Structure 1
Amino acid sequence: MKHVLSTLLIAALLGSCNSSDKSKSASAESTDVDTTTEAVAKIEKQLKKIETDEDLIATALMAAPAESRATSKVIGYNMAGEFVTLKEGDSEYIVLADDPKKDGFNAACYHKDLDAFMARGRALRAEGKSADEIFAVREAEVKSGKIKITPGSALHIYYGPNSAYDVETSKVDGAKLRYVIYTPFATSASIGLPETPSAPNHPWIMNPGTHRAHIMISPLENAIE
């Protein structure tokens, strides 16, 4: 009887060891697969830092609709720090490239009807005006008709925490799109949208009742373009 019990005990211990070894082996294999998958993904993306004016143009154009990228004008700071026209274009869109001297990534595409409004903001900022001063000046100029903002004019903002991009697709790693639709002097009551978002990705009106009133449509937290 004792001999039978000993045999059973030894068999159980051997089975437990084999099971443990298999579990460890499976775990190691899983880790190897995960590491390999990550490495392959990085190779496939071929991420590159934005280092040239060509890189600035390629990534900035991702803010524009795909069908208009070839014909859109691109402006912004070049790698030498000069504000220039990086690419000529004749579509309805003007694209503002990322500032290479700032952390992260932020490019914008706006309808050409917004150019006077945007250019005025850049000029006032260059003069050293504060955000509140710029707001006040443009408020007065829009009210007087000196600056015109066509209701419904859109701004697309392509932004993210990283500045590396996929050389095959020109997509910036981790970047998302946020949309702004200008509706000068509109209010929540006049267009029927809340002044705060009801839920992620839901439209709402910001700066209601002012020249800068606009509909905001932000991406979901985990959305990536």
Structure 2
Amino acid sequence: MKHIIIAFIFTGILMSCNSSDKTKTTTEDSAEMESKEKNIAIESNRELKSITTDADLIATALMAAPEESRADSKVIGYNMKGEFVTLKEGTNEFIILADDPNKNGFSAACYHKDLEPFMARGRVLKAEGKSHQDIFEIREEEMKSGALKITTGATLHIYYGAKTDFDPKTSKVDGAQMRYVVYMPFATSESTGLPEAPIATNHPWIMNPGTHRAHIMISPLPEEHN
């Protein structure tokens, strides 16, 4: 009789544990499903629009700058008429090059104002019909001669993506992400300890080592992978 009672008690405990595990699993599954449903709802409620005005160009370009600096950053670039102009005046240390509406995809770049002579020189040479390699070689010589300068550590913030539609409420471009370039003129793998190729998709590495365009590349993972 004693053995039968013990068996009943043991069976009851097992049933209780199984019931508890099932309840816990059901609750976790329900919470996960609810979270997914919320994310889907948020995505479906987004109303994306195309970049059709200079105001759109400014709003999306500002996303390349640190959030606290956007209001006072200068924005330059091609307007909707195809003219290279100052789209927005600024008072802080940042200059932002807006997306070119006549090119596929999206790309806006924010950089320290001390980099503007270097950037402007590249634009002038490109307008003259110089090739990418020509521009590289000309600026290399001008950097070596002192005609051009890049401040070591000056950073370029790039906001880019394959799509151009954006959320007018947040100014975020659909699917766009950040990439960072830290200029280190004439630095090498030996002088920095960085590899010359990324060892993972979000690891820093040095590009164009030993040249005037030597820079540290940092490409964070897209938000959905974080």
TMscore range, shorter length: 0.7 to 0.9
**Letter aligned with residue 182 of structure 1:** Y
> What amino acid does structure 2 have at the position aligned with 1:66?
E
CA RMSD of aligned residues (A): 1.9
Question: Could you say what secondary structure the match of 2:169 adopts?
Answer: coil
State the 1:90 CA deviation. 1.2
How far residue 53 of structure 1 moved from its aligned partner, in angstroms, is 0.1
Unaligned runs of at least 5 residues, structure 2 = 1-35
Query: Take 1:124 and 1:43, find their aligned partners in 2: how far apart are those partners?
Result: 45
User: What does 1:3-152 align with in structure 2 at a 5 Å threshold?
Assistant: 38=40, 40-152=41-153
2:209 maps to what in 1? 208
1:28 equivalent in structure 2: none
Could you tell me which residue of structure 2 aligns to residue 190 of structure 1? 191
Q: Distance in 2 between matches of 1:62 and 1:110?
A: 13
Amino acid in structure 2 at the alignment position of 1:173: D
Residue 21 of structure 1 is matched in structure 2 by: none
2 CA distance for matches of 1:115 and 1:49?
Answer: 29
Identity between Structure 1 and Structure 2 (%)? 68
Number of aligned residue pairs: give it: 191
Letter of the structure 2 residue corresponding to residue 109 of structure 1 = C
With over 3 angstroms needed to count, the CA separation of the structure-2 counterparts of 1:156 and 1:68, relative to structure 1, is same
Q: Secondary structure, in 3 states, of the residue corresponding to 1:164? A: coil
TM-score by length of 1: 0.81
- The residue identity in structure 2 corresponding to 1:122 is R
- 8 Å contact 1:176–1:224 — kept in the other structure? no
Query: TM-score scaled to structure 2, two decimals?
Result: 0.80
Which residue number in structure 2 is paired with residue 7 of structure 1?
A: none
Q: Residue 94 of structure 2 contacts residue 110 of structure 2 at CA under 8 Å; is this kept in 1?
A: yes
| Aligned structure 1 segments of 4 or more residues deviating by more than 6 angstroms | 34-37
- 1:174 equivalent to 2:175? Answer yes
Letter in 1 for 2:137: A
Shift of 1:223: 4.9
Distance in 2, Cα, partners of 1:153 & 1:54: 28
Superposition deviation, residue 42 in structure 1: 4.6
